[in-house]
């Protein structure tokens, strides 16, 4: 397993106690471990599937967990780069594609995935994780790959929440909103989701390749594009309704909110006072930082505040940054006048935009206000923390349960 490692400058007090629990959390919520545990709980004879598909950033470890119980079941594994160790996976066709951008390689891989589905038979289990939307590249009639990529690029650069991005993506690929499941008929598909979206929006994970479009409004994509001032090159097509085959189902394996709650529980078991801070979905990073600061001002010391989600950040410059390093910079500004605190924000997939896995900062190693403002303006927060020794090393974990942050508040001297 590949872990995210945070080297806090402060090595005493609560900060030193939190890090072993963070490592323990990563082990417990690794896709290979969770998938194996769930399948053992379900039972070998209850799955009733003759083939299996694994998609997205977590495809390789999910397939490894599945192979521990079903080594001979035919498998299609389509993962994001970089390539990973696949020795635990047997009887599989393995493909690698780009993320987050659409590419011709992804179109070629998507065609190969379609052929694999057509060339195999029987009921199917599908394990779908974040990153799937970029991998399944199959533009609708009348659209080119370049046009699809431009619309998706504009959505990503505008800081649009992932649920709304996927609502548009469902209309820009023939393999989404049930498109993959059409290729499986007349057999059923049981889908297991590793959610990179809010728990209540789990059915938009991967843009719904094996189940029906969760958005009832046919004009949802057009409304979203208009809301963010994005003009598509041509009208976004409506997706036809998809009817699932009896026996099909969608099940949530894991989500970031539940993982965050588990982090709080694990900290409590170690005698560390911890509390989850709920920040509404869609809250922009600037507002999220203020809410974190407000919660810190009301919290008892010593304690740890924990939160998760993806707070939209509009890209303003051509620097090197990411959501997590951006949030860390904003929190550093908000807590500048406070003492004895340490803050970390990480992407659970270990890839925070163009930077590392995230960033950490404490009251003893603050960049100047001018440096922070300049980095935020140029979308260059990863470079800022790299200069100050607060960049969390990039680590392709094979996981993807959104971003996680925690604020350690030491006892005031």
| 119-151 pLDDT per residue, tens | 999 999 999 999 999 999 999 999 999 999 999
| Domains of the chain listed by start with CATH number | 47-254 (3.40.50.10180), 257-409 (3.40.1480.10)
212 Cβ contact partners less than 8 Å away, ≥ 6 residues apart: 177, 178, 241, 242, 243, 244
| 23-74 pLDDT per residue, tens | 999 999 999 999 999 999 998 888 889 999 999 999 999 999 999 999 999 9
Mean pLDDT of 209-229: 85
Least confident range of 227-241, 283-297, 300-314: 227-241
Residue 304 has pLDDT above 90, yes or no: yes
Can you read off the two tokens belonging to residue 16? 């030193």
**pLDDT, position 155:** 92
Core vs surface per residue 272-311: b (16+ CB within 10 A) or e: bebeebebebbbebbebbebbbebbeebeebbbbbbbbbb
List the one residue out of 56, 18, 19 whose CA is nearest residue 35: 56
pTM for this entry: 0.94
| 353-408 pLDDT per residue, tens | 999 999 999 999 899 999 999 999 999 999 999 999 999 999 999 999 999 999 99
How distant, in Å, are the alpha carbons of 44, 158, 331 from that of 283? 42, 14, 14
Distance between CA atoms of residues 382 and 320, nearest Å: 6
Q: Please, which residues bridge with residue 407 across strands?
A: 305, 343
**pLDDT, position 10:** 65
């Amino acid at each position: 397993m590949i872990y995210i490692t945070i080297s806090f400058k402060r090595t005493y007090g609560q900060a030193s106690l939190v890090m072993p629990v963070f490592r323990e959390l990563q082990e417990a919520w690794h896709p290979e471990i969770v998938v194996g545990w769930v399948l053992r709980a379900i039972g070998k004879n209850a799955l009733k599937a003759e083939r299996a598909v694994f998609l997205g950033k977590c495809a390789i470890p999910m397939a490894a967990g599945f192979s521990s119980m079903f080594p001979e079941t035919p498998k299609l594994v389509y993962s994001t780069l970089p390539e990973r160790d696949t020795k635990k996976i047997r009887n599989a066709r393995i493909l690698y594609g780009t993320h987050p951008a659409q590419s011709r390689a992804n179109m070629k891989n998507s065609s190969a995935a379609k052929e694999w589905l057509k060339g195999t038979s029987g009921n199917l289990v599908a394990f779908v994780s974040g990153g799937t939307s970029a991998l399944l590249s199959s533009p609708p009639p009348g659209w080119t790959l370049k046009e699809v990529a431009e619309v998706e690029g504009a959505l990503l650069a505008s800081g649009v929440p992932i649920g709304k991005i996927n609502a548009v993506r469902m209309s820009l690929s023939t393999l989404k909103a049930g498109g993959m499941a059409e290729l499986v008929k007349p057999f059923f598909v049981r889908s297991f989701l590793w959610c990179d979206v809010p728990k209540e929006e789990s059915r938009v994970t991967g843009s719904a390749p094996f189940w029906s479009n969760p958005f009832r409004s046919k004009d949802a994509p057009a409304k979203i594009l208009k809301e963010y001032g994005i003009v598509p090159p041509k009208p976004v097509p409506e997706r036809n309704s998809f009817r699932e085959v009896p026996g099909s189902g969608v099940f949530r394996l894991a989500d970031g909110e539940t993982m965050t709650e588990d982090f709080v529980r694990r900290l409590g078991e170690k005698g560390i006072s911890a509390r989850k801070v709920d920040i509404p979905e869609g809250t922009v990073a600037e507002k999220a930082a203020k809410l974190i600061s407000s919660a810190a001002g009301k919290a008892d010391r010593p304690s740890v505040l924990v939160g998760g989600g993806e707070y939209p950040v509009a890209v303003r410059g051509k620097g090197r940054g990411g959501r997590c390093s951006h949030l860390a910079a904003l929190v550093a500004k908000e807590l500048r006048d406070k003492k004895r605190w340490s803050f970390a924000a990480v992407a659970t997939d270990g890839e925070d935009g163009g930077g590392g896995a995230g960033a950490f900062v404490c009251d003893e190693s603050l960049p100047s206000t001018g440096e922070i403002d300049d980095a935020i303006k140029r979308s260059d927060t990863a470079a800022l923390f790299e200069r100050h020794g607060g960049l969390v090393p990039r680590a392709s974990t094979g996981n993807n349960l959104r971003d996680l942050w925690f604020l350690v508040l030491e006892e005031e001297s």
